[in-house]
Amino acid sequence: MSAHIGNLLRLDRVDAGYDGTVVLRDVSLEVNDNQFSAVVGPSGAGKTTLLRLLLGTVKPSAGAVHRRDGLRTAYVPQLETVNWDFPLTVFECVLMGRTTRSALPWPSREERAEVGRLLERLGIGHLQRRHIRELSGGQQQRMFLARALIRRPHLLVLDEPTSGVDANTRHDILHLLADLHVEGIAIILTTHDLNGMAAHLPHLVCVKGTIIAQGGPSDVITPDVLEQTYGARMEVLRHLDLPLVVDPRVTLATAG
């Protein structure tokens, strides 16, 4: 793990959106190489757009994005956005994530070994030849994680990695990400799950058309910030030293 805490990326007063409509305004955010953050906020708040800004797939209409030279990013998409009918095996899908390609049209021995190693590490080595559709939600998530990791990213960006998975899988994914973070990969993810996911991460970014608040869970998960973000007053308790939001909306959102 690198001991150096240098900036990977910085957004300076950025506006961004689609077809002339601004969905994020005046966003400033620093991403360091020890980042482990959850982006939270209601549907349509601009969370995915913020991820796209970090990845460079959405360009700012105002402000600036500064990237460290040679920065490698990797993206784990929201499973709902994937075309599962595409005829791919798990092995092929992971291989598609690689940044370098050998001169040959087929993968080199090293590339095969790398895919195998990653899938083993993520506990789905035995599923290499399966069609991507024939996996559970948790296995699909792991496959996309392998596909991202084959790029050897400095920054890993995940869109709702625990949506649609059960509590055990969520726990496993959280631990896997924590291990990757300890190994020196910066991580930013979006989630609707304030209690089961966001409150467990060291840094939160609360978004609704702009950044409403950012900081540790206890600074961000407060009745005032939640009201500004979700438009409703919510009670916040403390449980095992973590904030716990009591609100039917949050409970409903985490079920999805």
Ligand X SMILES: Nc1ncnc2c1ncn2[C@@H]1O[C@H](COP(=O)(O)OP(=O)(O)OP(=O)(O)O)[C@@H](O)[C@H]1O
Residue spans of beta strands (DSSP E) within the chain: 7-18, 21-32, 36-40, 62-67, 73-76, 155-159, 186-190, 203-207, 211-215, 235-239, 242-246
CB contact burial 14-26 (16+ within 10 A = b; e otherwise): bebeeeeebbbbe
CB of 50 to ligand X, least distance (A): 7
Does the footprint of ligand X cover residue 82 (CB under 6 A)?
Answer: no
CB of 60 to ligand X, least distance (A): 14
**Do residues 95 and 115 lie in contact, with contact meaning Cβ atoms separated by under 8 Å?**
yes
Please identify, using beta-carbon distances, which residue of 48 and 141 lies nearer to ligand X: 48
Q: What mask, x for binding ligand X by CB under 6 A, covers residues 3 to 42?
A: ---------------x----x-----------------x-
Token pair, residue 94, equals 């992971």
Does the footprint of ligand X cover residue 46 (CB under 6 A)?
Answer: yes
CB of 19 to ligand X, least distance (A): 6
Closest of 59, 54, 20 to residue 37, by C-alpha = 54
Does the footprint of ligand X cover residue 47 (CB under 6 A)?
Answer: yes
Please identify, using beta-carbon distances, which residue of 78 and 89 lies nearer to ligand X: 78
Please identify, using beta-carbon distances, which residue of 95 and 225 lies nearer to ligand X: 225
Closest of 126, 200, 189 to residue 160, by C-alpha = 189
CB of 46 to ligand X, least distance (A): 4
Please identify, using beta-carbon distances, which residue of 41 and 243 lies nearer to ligand X: 41
